[in-house]
Structure 1
Amino acid sequence: MNPPPPPGPSSDRPCEPQEIDSQTLMRGQKQLIIRHDGESYRLIVTRNNRLILQK
């Protein structure tokens, strides 16, 4: 008899979003291009250390 499959995402329970530190994501840069569904988005760290996402 085969063992049961490992626990995975359940359709009745939402998955927890992945968390990543912005410094890790930006790698010391002030801008990052994110491609999504054929479009490019720019993630920018401002002089006031805020994040802005621009299309």
Structure 2
Amino acid sequence: MTALQLQRERTQSGYGSTIDGIKWEAETVTHEIIPDQGWVMTVDVETQEKAA
């Protein structure tokens, strides 16, 4: 696999061009742990269209 193919594979989510065309940057990540039930993870993100 070439470096270009590897880069493309890393940047394609499998959800289509609508998702892959957006730059996603996490601003905050919060975990709320609930004993005996599990946890909730909340991610606040900033999005921006990628340059063509």
Q: Which structure has the higher relative contact order (CA within 8 Å, separation 6+)?
A: 2
Per the normalisation by structure 1, the TM-score is 0.27
Higher strand share: 2
Structure ID, larger Rg:
1
Higher helix share: 2
Per the normalisation by structure 2, the TM-score is 0.28
